[in-house]
A and B are shown apart, each in its own frame.
Chain A
């Protein structure tokens, strides 16, 4: 029951400030509200648009302080291990994008103060493409990228 209301809620927030109303009526726990799913950013067709929807700005600095670990060649695009670690301080979020995927933004992780600048997961890649790691800190938004060759795509078809 709660989860059905939650879906309705997510649709509503795109257009209005329904967040406050939802908290007031007790439909949602605060933890869910913090993490409203950014549908706008996820549905974009290019990395640049996804990033500007996600962060509200296009000013992203390339940084050498982000370590993006991926295989050079991914034999199976359906399972590409990716880990991002950074020495930047006060990391607020870490996002992973695949430039040439139909929807480039793969994941966006929100980190609280106790979490270290490290995230590891496995993603799908449709074709050979740049993988981009974006780290948001208190001081700005930083990124680094790495080319991954894919021999068999993982986006269906």
Chain B
């Protein structure tokens, strides 16, 4: 279980909350070769990101290897108030996972 890999900001503007999340992950495609050994570096990438607002699932992103290294994700949703909890979690193809929470500001 990874820790400290997610930075979240949730900003309320009008009735809409913009969630921005920055992840720390290699996002290996499985196509690159190690320059010294010539062997392929196995794929290692986040497959799925979920976001919950006060415990309710609002958003799911399913990713392929073609999402950039140290991924960025942003989306907007309605119905949140200041101080509400937003939780973002990810799962990668090796089964590793992390999650983090933030307050709506």
A contacts, CB < 8 Å to B: 3-4, 6-7, 31, 34-35, 37-38, 42, 78-81, 83, 98, 101-103, 105-112, 114-116, 118-125, 154-157
For B32, give the chain A residue with the smallest CB separation.
A156
B20 to A: closest C-beta gap in Å:
8
Q: Is the CB of A112 within 8 A of B67?
A: no
Q: Considering the complex of A and B, which 8 residue pairs feature the smallest CB-CB distances, nearest first?
A: A156-B32, A3-B95, A122-B68, A120-B74, A110-B60, A106-B66, A116-B76, A156-B31
Q: Is the CB of A118 within 8 A of B31?
A: no
Q: Is the CB of B62 within 8 A of A112?
A: no
Q: Is the CB of A116 within 8 A of B16?
A: yes
Report the interface size for chain B: residues with CB under 8 A from the other chain: 37
Q: Is the CB of A124 within 8 A of B68?
A: yes
A146 to B: closest C-beta gap in Å:
16
The one of B29, B79, B91 in contact with A114, judged by C-beta atoms closer than 8 angstroms, is: B79
Q: Is the CB of A35 within 8 A of B48?
A: yes
CA of A102 to CA of B66, assembled, Å: 9
Q: 24 A-B contacts, Cβ less than 8 Å apart?
A: A3-B91, A3-B96, A4-B95, A6-B91, A34-B57, A37-B62, A83-B74, A106-B63, A109-B60, A112-B58, A115-B75, A116-B75, A116-B77, A116-B78, A119-B73, A119-B74, A120-B72, A121-B67, A122-B68, A123-B66, A123-B67, A125-B66, A155-B66, A156-B29
B14 to A: closest C-beta gap in Å:
11
Q: Mark B42-61, 1 if CB is under 8 A from A, else 0.
A: 00000110101100011111
B residues near A38, Cβ cutoff 8 Å: 62
B101 to A: closest C-beta gap in Å:
15
